[in-house]
Amino acid sequence: MSDTTSNQMWGGRFAAGPDAIMEAINASIGFDQRMAAQDISGSRAHAAMLAAQGIISDSDADAIREGLLTVLSEIEAGTFTFSAALEDIHMNVEARLKEVIGEPAGRLHTGRSRNDQVATDFKLWVRDQLDAADAGLIALIRALLDQAEAGSDWVMPGFTHLQTAQPVTWGHHMMAYVEMFGRDLSRVRDARARMNESPLGAAALAGTSFPIDRGMTAQALGFDRPAANSLDAVSDRDFALEFLSTASICAMHLSRFAEELVIWSSAQFRFVSLSDRFSTGSSIMPQKKNPDAAELIRAKVGRIFGANTALMMVMKGLPLAYSKDMQEDKEQVFDAADNWMLALAAMEGMVKDMTANRDSLAAAAGSGFSTATDLADWLVRVLGMPFREAHHITGSLVALAEGKGCDLPDLSLADMQSVHGEITADVFDVLGVENSVNSRTSYGGTAPAQVRAQIARWRRTLG
Ligand code: ARG
DSSP assignment, residue 228?
A: S
**pLDDT at position 3, please?**
47
**pLDDT at position 282, please?**
76
- Bridge partners, 157 (sequence order): 167
Q: Flag whether pLDDT at 1 surpasses 50.
A: no
Q: Average the pLDDT over 117-140 and give the result.
A: 98
Per DSSP, helices labelled H in 102-156 are: 114-150
H or E element that contains 458: helix 448-462
- The pairs formed by 16-23 with CB atoms below 8 angstroms and a separation of 24 or more are 17/85, 23/84, 23/85
Catalytic residue among 161, 209, 283, 442: 161
Q: What is the DSSP string of 417-454?
A: HHH-TT--GGGGGGSSHHHHHHH--STT-SSHHHHHHH
Q: Band the pLDDT of 82: cuts 50, 70, 90.
A: very high
Q: Flag whether pLDDT at 6 surpasses 90.
A: no
* Distance of CA 306 from the midpoint of ligand 1 (Å): 23
Contact 304/255 with Cβ under 8 angstroms? Answer: no
User: Which residue's CA lies nearest to atom 4 of ligand 1?
Assistant: 327
* pTM of this prediction exceeds 0.85: yes
Pocket test for ligand 1, best of 114, 234, 318, 323 (most atoms within 8 A of CB): 114
User: Which residue's CA lies nearest to atom 12 of ligand 1?
Assistant: 327
Report the nearest atom of ligand 1 relative to the CA of 324. 12
Tell me: the pLDDT tens digits for 41-63?
A: 999 999 999 999 999 999 999 99
Q: Band the pLDDT of 14: cuts 50, 70, 90.
A: confident
Pocket test for ligand 1, best of 14, 88, 323 (most atoms within 8 A of CB): 88
Catalytic residue among 59, 282, 367, 412: 282
**pLDDT at position 366, please?**
87
Q: Average the pLDDT over 78-105 and give the result.
A: 97
Tell me: the pLDDT tens digits for 401-420?
A: 999 999 999 999 999 999 99
Q: Average the pLDDT over 320-325 and give the result.
A: 97
Contacts of 226 by beta carbon, 8 Å cutoff, 6+ apart: 197, 198, 200, 201, 214, 215, 217, 218, 233
Which of 2-11, 345-354, 446-455 has the lowest average pLDDT?
2-11
DSSP assignment, residue 113?
A: -
Tell me: the pLDDT tens digits for 26-44?
A: 999 999 999 999 999 999 9
Cis peptide before 36 (omega within 30 of 0): no
Instruction: Number of helices (H) and strands (E) in the chain: give both, helices first.
Output: 18, 6
Active site residue 59: no
* Distance of CA 251 from the midpoint of ligand 1 (Å): 30
331-348 in b/e form (b: 16+ CB < 10 A) is: bbbbbbbebbbebbebbb
Residues with C-beta less than 6 Å from any ligand 1 atom: 28, 32, 88, 114-115, 118, 322, 324, 326-327
Q: What is the DSSP string of 83-107?
A: -GGG-SHHHHHHHHHHHHH-GGGGG
Closest CA to 432 of 75, 118, 153, 155: 155
Q: Band the pLDDT of 4: cuts 50, 70, 90.
A: low
Q: Flag whether pLDDT at 283 surpasses 90.
A: no
Report the nearest atom of ligand 1 relative to the CA of 88. 1
Q: Flag whether pLDDT at 367 surpasses 90.
A: no
- The mean predicted confidence, pLDDT, of the chain is 95
Q: What is the DSSP string of 355-383?
A: EE-HHHHHHHHTSSSTTHHHHHHHHHHHH
Contacts of 5 by beta carbon, 8 Å cutoff, 6+ apart: 11, 17
Tell me: the pLDDT tens digits for 450-460?
A: 999 999 999 99
Active site residue 282: yes
What three-state secondary structure class fits 384?
Answer: coil
CA–CA–CA angle 453, 143, 256 (5° rounding): 95
Percent of the chain with pLDDT over 90: 91
Tell me the one-letter amino acid at 249.
Answer: I
Q: Band the pLDDT of 281: cuts 50, 70, 90.
A: confident
Closest CA to 357 of 187, 190, 155, 162: 155
The Cα 437–Cα 429 span in angstroms is 13
